[in-house]
Structure formats: structure tokens, C-alpha cells
């Protein structure tokens, strides 16, 4: 895989993660559940071209109502 494609894939994966966490949080607030992301921020710093960056974010429903995630899309 070409380095520029890998860099775009990492950038895309990061944005997908941000979109999913945002959807989780918005669904939790609107449905009575409360979602907590740990950590709540990820700083990848500088990533050299061709290198991969991986982050693990734990999402937990700390509310009392179940949460249903639907219509997840990437941009």
C-alpha cells in the first residue's frame, strides 16, 4: 500500500471514530441513556507518512436506559 493511501486511511479512521463517538453521545442524550467515552480525547501528535496510528476508546452506557445506535455513516 502506498504511504499516502495509508495516511489517508488513518486520517479517515480517526474521523470515523470521532463521528461514531459523536453519534453515541448524541443518541445517549436524546434517549435518556448516558454514554461516557474513556479517554474523552485522543491526541495523535505528528504521524509520519506511512506510519499507522491506533487508539482505543471505551464507550460505556452509564445511564439507566438502553441506547440504540442506528444509521451510522462515514463521511
CB 39 within 8 A of CB 67: no
Q: Cα separation of 61 and 43, whole Å?
A: 23
> Where is pLDDT greater, at 68 or 6?
68
Per-residue pLDDT tens over the stretch 9-44: 666 666 676 667 676 666 554 446 788 889 988 888
Q: Where are the domains of the chain?
A: 3-61
Share of the chain above pLDDT 70, in %: 57
Q: What is the pLDDT of residue 75?
A: 44
Q: Cα separation of 20 and 13, whole Å?
A: 10
Amino acid at each position: 500500500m502506498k504511504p499516502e493511501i495509508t495516511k489517508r486511511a488513518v486520517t479517515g479512521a480517526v474521523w470515523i471514530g470521532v463521528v461514531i463517538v459523536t453519534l453515541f453521545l448524541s443518541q445517549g442524550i436524546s434517549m435518556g441513556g448516558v454514554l461516557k467515552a474513556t479517554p474523552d480525547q485522543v491526541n495523535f501528535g505528528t504521524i509520519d507518512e506511512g506510519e499507522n496510528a491506533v487508539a482505543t476508546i471505551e464507550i460505556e452506557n452509564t445511564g439507566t436506559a438502553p441506547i440504540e445506535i442506528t444509521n451510522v455513516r462515514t463521511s
